[in-house]
Amino acid sequence: MDGRCGKDVARAALGRRGLELVSGMLPSTYRSFIGQRSRRPLVVQGVVPSWLSGVLYRNGPGRFEGPAWEARHAFDGLALLQRFAIHGGQVQWSARFLDSPLAAQVTQGRRERFRGFGQAASRTWFDIVRDVVAPRHADNANVSIIHQDGRLLALTETPYGIEVDAQTLATRGRLAYGDERSDMEAQTTTAHPHHDAHSDALVNLSTCFKGRERFYRLWTARAGLRREFARLPVRRPAYLHSFGLSRAHAVVVEFPLLLDPIRLLLAGGSYHSAFDWAPATGTRLRVVERATGRIAADCTIDACFAFHHVHAWDEDGTVVVDLLTYPDAGIIDAFYLDRLAGPHAIRPAARYTRLRIDPARGRVTQEQLVAGTMEFASVAPARGEAPRHAFAVGSSDATLVGGYDQLWKIDLRARRTTTWQEPGGICGEPVFVPRPGGRASDDGLVLALCHMPRGRRDFLVMLDAQRFQECARAILPEHVPYGLHGCFVSS
C-alpha cells in the first residue's frame, strides 16, 4: 500500500464531474442523508421484550457531497448521529448531523480548509504556519459515540470529544478538560476509549509531538479530570485506532503503518497520506502496567494491521488480546469512494486473532480463533475475564463483494459461529444489551441496523442473543447510510 500524498493528487485529478459520477455509482449503503428527523415513531414488527428500555445511539458518516465539496473517502462523510428511543415496545427515531466546522464549510460551499482522513486540504503557506502554532480541527467526529460521566460524546481520532445533547442530538461543543494546552496536549487520540467499570474512569491513548519528542500518552479521566499514567517514547508513531485494556495492563499494538510527523504538519495532503506502510519493521507490542506505568513486555511479531481490539484480560501470568487483523493496511484504500463505486469492489478480510503475551519470557503466541471474515466485534459483557461470546458482522462471501451481509454470534470456547441474515441486506455493528439480572454472557438482545437495497426499507433488528433469532424489527421510513459505531444507554 502506498500512503503518500501522490494518491491525493491522483484522486483530485478526477475533478468534480468525475466525483459526481462516482457518487452516482456508489452502493445504496453510501447514499447521502439530508436534513434532520425528530422523534419519528417507527412501525414495529414482532414483539420487543418488555425489559428493553433505553436509547441506542449510532454514529457514522452520513453525507458525502455539498455545493462545492465531495468526500473522497468513506471516513470523511459528515457525522450523522441517530437516536433510537425504545420503551414499552415502541421505538422513536431521530437523526441529526453534528454541527462542526467542516459541516459549516460544506453547507456554505467554502473551500476545503480542513484535512480529512482521505481528503487533502486547500491550504496556503499562511494556513500551514498558523496550523502548526494553533491547529484547527474539522471536529467531524463521525466514528464512535459513548456515554461517560453523564455526557454523550461523539468521537473520532482528533484530540477532542464533541459533547451532544442526549435528548435532541444538538451539538454542545468540544469537551474541554482544561489541560489541552498544557501537559496533556496531543495531536491525535484513539476513537475507542475504554470505560473501566472498576474505577468508573475513561481510559484512552494519545499521540503527542513536543519539539523533537514523540510519544504515546496513556491517561485516565474521571469527574472531568485527566491523569497520565504512562508515557511511551516512539521514533515514528503508528496509526492507532484502538488499544487493549485489561484490569492490570494496557496493551499498545503498533502496526507498521507509520506516521511522518513533518508531512502531517507541513504538507497539504490527507491524514492518510502522512503514513507509510513499512512491513519490515513488524508489529510491536508494548504491555504497560496500569498501576506503575512500567513496561512489562516489549515484543515484535510479523506485520499486520487492525482497526479494532475486541477484548483484553490477564490470565495465568499472561496478557491475552483479541483483535481483528488484516495482513496489511489495504483495507483503508478499499474505502476510497471511487473504489467502492467500482464494479468489483473487494474489501480485504479481517480475521479474529488472539495474541497471548508472556511478559516473563518475552514471548507471544498467536492464533486465528474462528474461520471467516468479520468486523465490528465486541464481547458480551466485558467484565475483564476471558469472554465466552462475541458478536460481529460477517460475510457469507470471503471476497467481501457487497459488504457484510450477516450478523454473527461467536462461541469463543467452542470456536463456532451462529449467523443471522436478511436476504439482500448489509448489517451494521451489533450492540449487545444485557438483560437486567441476567447471568449468562449471552443473556440479552443484539441490536443492529440492516441496510437494504433500493426499493426496500432499512430497519433496526432485535435478536434474542441466546437463540440468535429475530424477535422484532423497527422499520425506518427512509434510507440511512452505513454507519460505524454505537452504544446503548439503559433507562
In a domain, 1, yes or no: no
Looking at the 3D structure of the chain, how many domains does it have? 1
In a domain, 223, yes or no: yes
Choose from 9-23, 90-104, 211-225 the range with maximum mean pLDDT.
Answer: 90-104
The predicted pLDDT at position 9 comes to: 41
- Read off the DSSP letter of residue 114: S
In a domain, 78, yes or no: yes
The predicted pLDDT at position 3 comes to: 38
Higher pLDDT pick, 271 / 347: 271
Residue 330 pLDDT exceeds 80: yes
- CATH number of the domain encompassing residue 157: 2.130.10.10
Higher pLDDT pick, 147 / 116: 147
In a domain, 296, yes or no: yes
Residue 384 pLDDT exceeds 90: no
In a domain, 91, yes or no: yes
- Read off the DSSP letter of residue 454: T
Higher pLDDT pick, 68 / 427: 427
Q: What is the pLDDT of residues 130-145, one digit of tens each?
A: 565 566 778 999 999 9
Instruction: Tell me what the pLDDT averaged over the chain comes to.
Output: 89
The predicted pLDDT at position 133 comes to: 55
The one-letter code for the residue type at 7 is: K
Residue 178 pLDDT exceeds 80: no
Residue 15 pLDDT exceeds 60: no
In a domain, 65, yes or no: yes
In a domain, 279, yes or no: yes
Measured CA to CA, the distance from residue 315 to residue 367 in angstroms comes to 16
Measured CA to CA, the distance from residue 180 to residue 178 in angstroms comes to 6
The predicted pLDDT at position 5 comes to: 37
Cβ atoms 339, 360 nearer than 8 A: no
DSSP string, 294-358: -EEEEEEES--B-S-EEEEEEETTEEEEEEEEBSSTHHHHHTBHHHHTSTT---PPPEEEEEEEE
The predicted pLDDT at position 69 comes to: 87
CB atoms inside a 10 Å sphere around CB 114: 20
- Read off the DSSP letter of residue 26: S
Within 8 A by CB and 6+ apart from 392, the residues are: 324, 352, 374, 375, 376, 377, 378, 407, 408, 410, 430
In a domain, 327, yes or no: yes
Helix (H, G, I), strand (E, B) or coil at 10: helix
Task: Report residue 406 CA to chain centroid gap.
Answer: 19
Residue 401 pLDDT exceeds 80: no
Residue 16 pLDDT exceeds 60: no
When mean pLDDT is compared across 163-172, 174-183, 403-412, the lowest value belongs to 174-183
Closest CA to 350 of 329, 333, 320: 329
pTM: 0.92
Domain limits for position 51: 6-490
Q: How far is CA 166 from each of CA 40, 41, 77, 154, 355, rounded to the nearest angstrom?
A: 16, 18, 22, 11, 37
When mean pLDDT is compared across 76-80, 367-371, 452-456, the lowest value belongs to 452-456
| pLDDT band, very low/low/confident/very high, at 465 (cuts 50, 70, 90) | very high
CB atoms inside a 10 Å sphere around CB 419: 13
Q: How far is CA 130 from each of CA 79, 91, 212, rounded to the nearest angstrom?
A: 26, 47, 19
Cβ atoms 33, 77 nearer than 8 A: no
Contacts 24+ apart (CB under 8 A), 182-189: 183/228, 184/217, 184/219, 184/226, 184/228, 185/159, 185/210, 186/159, 186/217, 187/135, 187/159, 187/261, 187/264, 188/157, 188/158, 188/159, 188/240, 189/157, 189/158, 189/159
